[in-house]
Amino acid sequence: MLLTIDVGNTNIVYGLFDGQRLLHQFRVESSRGKTADEYAVVIRQLLAMHDIGPGDVHAAILASVVPALTEPMVELVKRAFDKDAMVVGPGIRTGMSILYENPREVGADRIVNAVAAFEKVKGGVIVVDFGTATTFDCITPKGEYLGGVIAPGVQISADALFTRAAKLPRVEIARPPKVVGRNTLHSMQSGIVYGYVGLVDGLVERLKEELGYPCSVLATGGLARLIAPLSKTIEEVEDELTLVGLRLLYERNQV
């Protein structure tokens, strides 16, 4: 089995593949204070719940946007499974041309998403990833990574509102009954949710206009299923896009 590890600023997502089939995925909080040993204990316990032992994992690949956690994740794989993890970064074969001015600046997760999205669509595509930041990644009809947009994430924006406006309470990020809020709770939820829907649709429309070629629009990430149903531009939600992209990259780097 292949273990895929997506290390984000808020969460670490583990995926376990048997061939092309995703058997299980686990989401844990990213914590820069945990050691490799602590992470190793957690993943082995999670796998044990499904009767999967360390010997069942034959390989691992990880993508990290948190430099402080990259080495602990490599160590986790070594200690828990006695394997050397493949790390997405410079030198790895992606099968995709990177047209960014400085390819080394592109986050590993963005490349992974782009690879998986193009494999699915086989054409021009925009990936909207609702993570700690919300990213918009553009892939050409030839399968080239062109670039995109980085915006503050939904939770970051909401936290700024809660923190800086003294009289406003912290609220759950959820769809309100109507756009016009009749109380503070619903007014804030409307501003956060529908305001973000407007941001997404506005950017996607501008991207499509500038790109000038037909594009599918896929969404992934923690809040994708909240925003996507309200969006006029998002066509499909792919919850496992990053994990699938990691699997594809692992397969492309086998000699």
Active site residues: 109
- Which residue reads 């959820």 in tokens? 174
| Cα 28 from Cα 13, distance rounded (Å) | 6
Contacts of 112 by beta carbon, 8 Å cutoff, 6+ apart? 6, 63, 88, 242, 245, 246, 249
